[in-house]
Chain A
C-alpha cells in the first residue's frame, strides 16, 4: 500500500523556468510533510517542510504548497538551475514521537537543461 505517491518518474525543465514536482498521499494521519533532494550514491538532503496547519511554506527558490482536502502537495523551484538536477523525494510523517518515521514517495528525477 503506497501511502505517498509521486506519479511522475521524471521531469525535464529548461534553466530559468519553474519546476513543479507533485506528490499525493492517502493517510489522513500525516501531519508533517517534507521534500528531500538526493544525488546518486549520497544520502537524502532535506530541502523544505510544511506542517498540516499551513498551506504554503517558502524558502528562497523553493516553495511547498499543501492542499489537505485533496491530499496533495507540490514543490515549486523558481528559477530552476542545472545544479537542481537530482532525484526529489516527498515524505510524510504522523508527528508526535514519530517525526523521524518518514514515509517516502518513489521519487521524481528532475533534469534541468542549461
Chain B
C-alpha cells in the first residue's frame, strides 16, 4: 500500500514564477491536508480538503496561494508569483474519514527554493 506521494521533491523557481506541488493521498484516503515548514520552525497548517471541497483554509495566505483536490487526480497546491519568503518545505498529509491523529500520514515533502 503506497504511502502519501508528493512531487516534485525539490523545485526551484525564480521570483515571479508559479509553483505547483502535487499530492496523491494514500489509497482509500479522502482527506488531504497541506502543511508548510519554514526554516527553523515547526510545521504550520495551511489547508484541509476533501474531494472537490475546501473544508478549512484558515492557514492559507490570503493572496497567491490556492489549493484544490479534484474528483480525479492529485491534490494541487499552487503558489503564484513566488517570492523568496515562500521557500520552505511543503508537506501533504492524508487520512481516512473521521481520522484521529494517529491515522494522519505525511508525505516526504516538497522543498521549494525561490531564487
Residues of A within 8 A of B (CB): 4, 6, 32, 34, 36, 41-46, 48-49, 89, 91, 93, 97-107
Sample of 10 more A-B contacts, CB < 8 Å, known A6-B42, A89-B43: A32-B100, A41-B111, A43-B93, A43-B106, A44-B106, A91-B101, A99-B95, A99-B104, A100-B33, A104-B42
Pairwise interchain contact B42-A100, C-beta atoms closer than 8 A: no
Residues of B within 8 A of A (CB): 4, 31, 33, 35, 40-45, 48, 55-56, 91, 93, 95, 98-102, 104-109, 111
Query: Which residue of chain A has its CB nearest to the CB of B31?
Result: A100
Q: Would you give the shortest CB distance from B100 to chain A, in whole angstroms? A: 5
A93 to B108, CA, bound (A): 22
Which one of A41, A43, A104 lies within 8 Å of B44 (CB-CB)?
A104
- Which residues of the other chain, B, contact A44 by a CB distance below 8 angstroms? 43, 91, 106
